[in-house]
Amino acid sequence: MFFLQMVRFYDEWSDGSSEEDEEWDEEEDLAILMMVEMEQNKRPKHGGSRVGREVIHRRRQEGHQRLVLDYFGVSGTPPTYPERYFRRRFRMGTELFQHICWVISRYDKLFQQRRNCTGLMGHSTLQKVTAAIRMMAYGIPADLVDDHLAMAESTAIFCLRRFARAIIKCFGDRYLRAPNVQDTERLLAINAARGFPGMLGSVDCMHWRWKNCPVAWHGQFTGHVKDPTIILEAVADQETWFWHAYFGMPGSCNDINVLNRSPLFANLANGEAPEVEFELNGHKYTKGYYLADGIYPQWATFVKPIHHPESVKESRFHSAQAAARKDVERAFGILQSQFAIVRGPARFWDEKTLWRIMTAAVILHNMIIENERGQDVDHHYDFMGRVVNPRRRVDRIEHFLRTHHEIRDADTHRALKDDLVEEWWKWSGQQER
């Protein structure tokens, strides 16, 4: 607008100019027009306040009141929809939802209800958090929350980005961490009762299709799937709790490439992981293991299926290993069912936003499991345990290299599998009595 006013002023001034300045006037006109064009190209991405823009007067307060009446109730009046409807549409219980709203509103002022520059009240905390969770739960475009939450598309996208970041900052340290001493003891006890002593979980990878991947990156992010994807590596237990989540590797990588970049065994190599000792078939082992599929390498920390079982004993163990390994597959299925945004194509353009959304979905998944303890699913985990304090070693580098080689020892891998087959055969025979 400033440059347009300059053009009008210059036109009025140039009407009284002399003919001697005609050549100079044409050059000045060209310069001003170039400045106007540059200013027009600098317009905000979402428009902003400008002359001629259509203004939509959204009834934010009515949207907030309707949301409260439908799901929370007012002054002793029960809500329109019962708790089971809330659980299905918000993927969590009312108490957990209100707890999340309270925590992130204290962390990020964006989620607090404030007045804008015109003095009007903005969206409430319930509206902002509901918009973010609905987009994550149903995988819908941001425009679909406008009709019942009175929120513009750009505002809903902004709330989703800030919500994912707030979830990671507020709850990531508790709900997405490595197992501590007590957690490791429970995992070992539960898996020993299943016939797998020394097992810490199962590991696998999941692909998330990236719809808006930049064209220049298609070759890097396209693998065995036709479309570009981003990989999530995770470790889950029988309760589908995620103990490890590593997201961001391009889809052209396989599980081995992801493993080589993953920090899965970093704590073990650095001496920060809990000590694990168990006995199989008369032999002692000092490192826990994970169940994996056939593509993973022959490391001492993996137990893979038997490709060509030659006896009934190996055949039954192969079936048992495949069944127990499905824990992580079930966790992926539940995660995609709860938060359809990670099941459908990702519509964002930057990897950082996708990482935050995926990480926030994993954290919310673990929070829901903890909240449902004692209700639909019988959980036995206590998440307040003693952490592992790394030991100060003089030979820290030597210990790291020694542990690194022990993890990748193929002979230990084969001995572990043979002993586990014998141990599982004994355990299955006792169960059949």
pLDDT in tens, 355-403: 999 999 999 999 999 998 766 443 333 333 344 444 445 567 887 888 8
Count: domains in the chain: 2
Query: Is residue 27 domain-resident?
Result: no
pLDDT in tens, 126-157: 999 999 999 999 999 999 998 889 899 999 99
Query: Is residue 37 domain-resident?
Result: no
Residues 199 and 71 grouped into a single domain: no
* Distance between CA atoms of residues 267 and 270, nearest Å: 5
SS3 content of the chain, % helix, strand, coil (to 5): 55, 10, 35
pLDDT at 23: 44
- Of 173, 422, 183, nearest to 288 (Cα)? 183
Q: Mean pLDDT for the chain?
A: 84
Instruction: Report the relative pairing of strands 283-285 and 278-280 from DSSP bridges.
Output: antiparallel
Q: Is the pLDDT of residue 19 over 90?
A: no
Residues 153 and 191 grouped into a single domain: no
Q: Is the pLDDT of residue 10 over 90?
A: no
pLDDT at 48: 57
**Cα angle at 62 between 58 and 67, to 5 degrees?**
115
Query: Is residue 127 domain-resident?
Result: yes
Domain boundary pick from 147, 174, 201:
174
Residues 164 and 189 grouped into a single domain: no
Query: Is residue 328 domain-resident?
Result: yes
Residues 331 and 415 grouped into a single domain: yes
* Distance between CA atoms of residues 210 and 229, nearest Å: 5
* Distance between CA atoms of residues 211 and 342, nearest Å: 12
**Residue 407 to residues 78, 243, 395, 421, 423, Cα–Cα distance (Å):** 57, 19, 18, 20, 22
Residues 334 and 199 grouped into a single domain: yes
pLDDT at 402: 87
Residues 261 and 363 grouped into a single domain: yes
Say which residues have a Cβ less than 8 Å from residue 16's Cβ, sequence separation at least 6.
none
* Distance between CA atoms of residues 143 and 262, nearest Å: 36
Domain around 70? 60-174
pLDDT at 25: 52
pLDDT-derived band of residue 348, with 50, 70 and 90 as boundaries? very high
Query: Is residue 252 domain-resident?
Result: yes
The conformational region for residue 27 under phi > 0 = left, psi -120 to 50 = alpha, else beta, is alpha
Q: Which amino acid is at 273?
A: A
Residues 210 and 134 grouped into a single domain: no
Tell if the pTM clears 0.75, that is, is over it. Answer: yes
**Mean pLDDT calculated for residue range 395-421:** 87
Residues 190 and 128 grouped into a single domain: no
